[in-house]
Structure 1
Amino acid sequence: MDIKAPDLGVDSAEVSEIMVEVGDVIEKDDNIILLESDKASVEVPSSAAGKVTKISVAVGDQVSEGMVLIEVDSDADSGADDESDDSSKNEQKQPEADTENSKSTEVAATNNDKAEQTKDKSDTSEPEEGTGRATTHALPDLGVEEAQVAEIMVSVGDTVSAEQSILLIESDKASVEVPAPIAGKVEKILVEAGDMVANGQDFIVIIGEDETSSTSETQGSRTEAVSAKADSEAGSSEQQASAKKQSTAAPKQSAQETGASAASKSGGKLTESQVNEKLVDVYAGPAVRKLARQMGVDITQVSGSALNDRILKEDVFAHVKESLSKQKAAPTNSAGAQASLPNLPDMSNIEIWGETETQDLSRLQKVSIPQLNYNTLLPQVTQFDLSDITETEKLRGELKGGMKAEGIGFTILAFVVKATAHALTQHPRFNSHLSDDNTQIIVRKSVNMGIAVATDDGLIVPVIKNVQDKGLKQIAIEIGELAGKARDKKLGTKDLQGASFTISSQGNLGGTAFTPLVNWPQVGILGVSEASRQPRWNETKQTFEPRLMLPLSLSYDHRVINGADAAVFTRYIATLLADPRRILL
């Protein structure tokens, strides 16, 4: 009997551990395989009891729903085989060798019978011509780990078209309308308003309109192809398992010495391939390894808390917390800063602290905290400058009347976005990301501009894609649309992803300058404060005159950007804003 992978909630997952061996006798629901994806680890239970006769996957393989994991001889099959053997012995009384041949023949016949039964069952389950088949569909990637069902837009019995909105999902970041995956009739809705749902969760059953028998034939061919692939790979599975055991038995010290030698040659930094070589004996999934690299943690020093000492994300966080608590300032003449903040004092004594009130953070604020914590790891510097936007403001005043008639809000921010996008194409280092191993930068070919928008729940950053190819009018339109969606909680996941640089404008909120925080993995962010009239010296007229000056604050990751480049870049943006015609040159 084939034991297949169930619905994993993701397209594919990696085999992290095989918990059984050929010859083991297992019970139903015994865990047989540990699968790990970027989102979770799943222990796959056996759907039947019996003796393990074949393992069709190896550690490191990528598996998906329906793929054969192991094969077992069930109790029923074993009994049938024994009965067949006894019958053969009693009637023919052949030698032991002949009995074995007879048993093999019986098993083959049994398998053929099972195949015929499966085929008959499949033929029986085929829908009648002109009718559809009920199919269960899972939620797409929501962009967050979980979200709440805010509204169900259809009812059982409704006929829906493909891409018709059927669910409204609301997360801490945005509201997302989930479209129907196919056209057909709603047979069952598997979620309710108020439920918390996750990526890949089954949410609706739809009877498709255009389902035919060819669909089943295609699926049958696909199943046969998967089985054939599993059979072809099964021959080498035992060899792979043996090789893995030998690799695991090798001392960890040799791997660590190899990594240390490579580090010494490269000045203390390991490339990603060297890191992988060093960590062959670490029991952790790809998501955990990536987190450790991002936080600068040597994962070989982290203790795992899961089964077989497997390392979880919580273990990495606990290791970082413990390391910070143990750090002490070096003995110098002046007192060093604390590595981490102590716990709050007990504020229950009203005589000392007065009356207090506890208020919950908004969901948006809660999910923003981990992202903001990344900024504490960045060596950030801020460059300040002023741009004379007197003439640009006159141009905006001439154009805004026509824009307003078309329902378009035309603010100075549109000019700032366009000028910054052009500057990023001329200074691409600011439109890049630092690689995980800190040896390269990944330069973006397009400018996807994040625009910080203040909402009642907190700050949110929707993204305008390919700004370098858009004019002022189109930019103004998209700024208005995204700002409206943000305030109405109607932003989709695509609206919040992919930014290469961010602009944070305080508009008319006041203030002369501020220090915006770089939004990792970006390397720069431009802050814009309120413009004000200031006296400036006119060399030609030899007199002071009032000019409208716009404060700019550029924060940058000093690992990628040096101070001289930051000063040149900020001055270039100020020059473009003073005379936008330069963009046309």
Structure 2
Amino acid sequence: MSVIDVKVPDIGDYKDVPIIEVHVKPGDRINPEDPIVTLESDKAAMEVPAPQAGEIAEVLVKVGDKVSEGSALVRLASEGGAKDREKETASATTAVEAEKPEATAADTPARTPAPAEKPTSESEAAGAPERVALPLGVDFGGVHASPSVRRLARELDIDLRTLKGSGEKGRITKDDVKRSLGGGAGTGAGIPEIPPQDFAKYGPIETQPLTRLRRLGGPHLHRAWLNIPHVTHTDEADITDLEAYRKSLDDAAKEKGYRVTLLSFIMKACVVALKEFPTFNASLAPDKENLILKRYYHLGIAVDTPDGLVVPVIRDVDRKGIVELSQELGVVSQKMRDGKIAPTDIQGGTFSISSLGGIGGTGFTPIINAPEVAILGVVRAQMRPKWDGDAFEPRLMLPLSLSYDHRVIDGAEAARFARRLAVILEDVRQLVL
């Protein structure tokens, strides 16, 4: 039996990050990857997982404490050998999973919430705060709530000063804000939950817990789908010539230990189109009356991992060439699949690409990665006959699915963006103009 201190691993440039949840207490038995605490900055939340199995001997922090990399969180009694402990501790240092921006564990839907009921008395009705337009930038001074809760309240026009917190020491949680809408925890703006069922009545079942990535990322996708009026526009690009050029580059790259992918060309093409259509490289301001145009091009690339979808951000795509992007994509994709996710890896994106080209399909509706306003979906290219005016000839056609926020972008603009993107991909010389 040995006792080790579990410390905050590398969390990027963040310092003095507040603890908003403590998930363990002395005497608890935990398994590897079980969450110990949840940290939250003004931009992201993250769980610190247990590096190995054992029993919590002592909790060294409490909710509200501020910690940085290397701060001790708990003392863990373990029977593992020294060699195993070194390996598992090193794994934990790189396994901190950041949630998608503004998503926290508190967003996780309740297991079996009761459908929202109509208030039966005036006193019950009075429990739901009146939703009024709040002053721009209101910070709810003196209210015990995390930055993400304050942000959510501002988005929903809920005055936190009218709510009673259910968290430790009266802290107001996201569930408290959601309950104030009348829909119960985990629902979307009052939308009732799907009634629970006893599936075992109909046959054998197995309950399998969601992976941590899906559990933490699910609320972010749910919120984006509920809050953004999604529209998906489809088009296709003739990439016959581009693919021939890509293969020539890829043949040379194989000898040097990397691959040149079609995705790197799509990223460069997106930057060209984004510069011509800056509305797609923007975010809607919190007041919903202004658009924040970004003069940098950080593209989120959806990566399929064994535990679920991760969207790392490739920065300054406009300043990198095809070869450099291909090499970086290979490194980043492997890092995500190994679970080595840091908060900074998934922050700051301006536009996202979700590619299913290695799997198949003919099109899909990708969910916008809020607070972005558009996302491009790509599936497998297919060889099809194309009429050239005199005869049909085989051409490699790449389907494109562009989802956009209809509050910011109208259909005609989306069609022009998608068509321009297709033209760029059809003529690789467009990338150097």
Give the secondary structure class of the aligned counterpart of 1:559.
coil
Indicate if the aligned counterparts of 1:271 and 1:437 stay in contact, CA closer than 8 A: no
- Indicate which of 159, 178, 191 corresponds to 1:339: 191
- Following superposition, the deviation at residue 309 of structure 1 comes to 6.9
Indicate if the aligned counterparts of 1:531 and 1:549 stay in contact, CA closer than 8 A: yes
Asked if residue 318 in structure 1 is aligned to residue 179 in structure 2, the reply is yes
Asked if residue 496 in structure 1 is aligned to residue 346 in structure 2, the reply is yes
Per the alignment, residue 148 of structure 1 pairs with 49
d(CA) in 2 for partners of 1:401 and 1:11?
45
Give the secondary structure class of the aligned counterpart of 1:512.
coil
d(CA) in 2 for partners of 1:403 and 1:535?
31
Q: 1:571 to 1:311 in 2, by over 3 A?
A: same
The structure with the largest alpha-carbon Rg is 1
Indicate if the aligned counterparts of 2:18 and 2:40 stay in contact, CA closer than 8 A: no
Unaligned runs of 5+ in 2: 1-13, 23-38, 53-69, 71-89, 100-128
d(CA) in 2 for partners of 1:480 and 1:315?
42
- Following superposition, the deviation at residue 303 of structure 1 comes to 4.1
Per the alignment, residue 414 of structure 1 pairs with 264
Please, what TM-score do these two structures have when normalized by structure 2?
0.69
Deviations 1:284-343 (A, max 9, x none): 565432121234545466444469976433311322353799999xxxxxxxxx933332
- Indicate which of 308, 313, 334 corresponds to 1:458: 308
d(CA) in 2 for partners of 1:426 and 1:361?
41
d(CA) in 2 for partners of 1:140 and 1:166?
21
Per the alignment, residue 564 of structure 1 pairs with 412
Per the alignment, residue 251 of structure 2 pairs with 401
Of the structure 1 ranges 462-471 and 295-304, higher mean CA displacement relative to structure 2 is found in 295-304
Indicate if the aligned counterparts of 2:280 and 2:373 stay in contact, CA closer than 8 A: yes
Q: 1:403 to 1:296 in 2, by over 3 A?
A: farther
Indicate if the aligned counterparts of 2:46 and 2:343 stay in contact, CA closer than 8 A: no
What are the residue-to-residue correspondences of 1:499-514 with 2, within 5 Å? 499-514=349-364
Asked if residue 423 in structure 1 is aligned to residue 287 in structure 2, the reply is no
When you count helix as a share of all residues, which structure comes out higher? 1
Deviations 1:334-370 (A, max 9, x none): xxxx933332222232xxx111111111111111112
Deviations 1:181-236 (A, max 9, x none): xxxxxxxxxxxxxxxxxxxxxxxxxxxxxxxxxxxxxxxxxxxxxxxxxxxxxxxx
What are the residue-to-residue correspondences of 1:504-583 with 2, within 5 Å? 504-539=354-389, 542-583=390-431
d(CA) in 1 for partners of 2:335 and 2:166?
42
- Indicate which of 342, 359, 373 corresponds to 2:222: 373
d(CA) in 1 for partners of 2:396 and 2:51?
46
Q: 1:306 to 1:455 in 2, by over 3 A?
A: closer
What are the residue-to-residue correspondences of 1:276-295 with 2, within 5 Å? 286-295=147-156
Tell me which amino acid in the other structure corresponds to 1:473. Answer: V
Per the alignment, residue 298 of structure 2 pairs with 448
What are the residue-to-residue correspondences of 1:103-114 with 2, within 5 Å? none
Q: 1:304 to 1:579 in 2, by over 3 A?
A: same
d(CA) in 1 for partners of 2:51 and 2:317?
33
Q: 1:391 to 1:170 in 2, by over 3 A?
A: same
Asked if residue 168 in structure 1 is aligned to residue 96 in structure 2, the reply is no
Tell me which amino acid in the other structure corresponds to 2:47. Answer: E
Considering only aligned residues, what root-mean-square deviation do their CA atoms show, in Å? 3.6
Higher relative contact order (CA 8 A, sep 6+): 2
Per the alignment, residue 272 of structure 1 pairs with 136
Give the secondary structure class of the aligned counterpart of 1:322.
coil
What are the residue-to-residue correspondences of 1:463-502 with 2, within 5 Å? 463-502=313-352
Indicate if the aligned counterparts of 2:40 and 2:46 stay in contact, CA closer than 8 A: no
Deviations 1:265-300 (A, max 9, x none): xxxx65514x56xx6797756543212123454546
Unaligned runs of 5+ in 1: 1-9, 13-36, 43-138, 155-164, 175-255, 261-268, 329-337
Give the secondary structure class of the aligned counterpart of 1:552.
strand
d(CA) in 1 for partners of 2:333 and 2:188?
44
- Following superposition, the deviation at residue 400 of structure 1 comes to 1.5
Please, what TM-score do these two structures have when normalized by structure 1?
0.52
d(CA) in 2 for partners of 1:324 and 1:440?
30
d(CA) in 1 for partners of 2:142 and 2:256?
63
Per the alignment, residue 210 of structure 2 pairs with 361
Deviations 1:57-109 (A, max 9, x none): xxxxxxxxxxxxxxxxxxxxxxxxxxxxxxxxxxxxxxxxxxxxxxxxxxxxx
d(CA) in 2 for partners of 1:477 and 1:173?
24
Indicate if the aligned counterparts of 2:134 and 2:157 stay in contact, CA closer than 8 A: no
Deviations 1:127-161 (A, max 9, x none): xxxxxxxxxxxx9989643212538xx9xxxxxxx
d(CA) in 2 for partners of 1:576 and 1:286?
42
Q: 1:296 to 1:516 in 2, by over 3 A?
A: farther
Give the secondary structure class of the aligned counterpart of 2:149.
helix
Indicate if the aligned counterparts of 2:20 and 2:146 stay in contact, CA closer than 8 A: no
What are the residue-to-residue correspondences of 1:125-140 with 2, within 5 Å? none
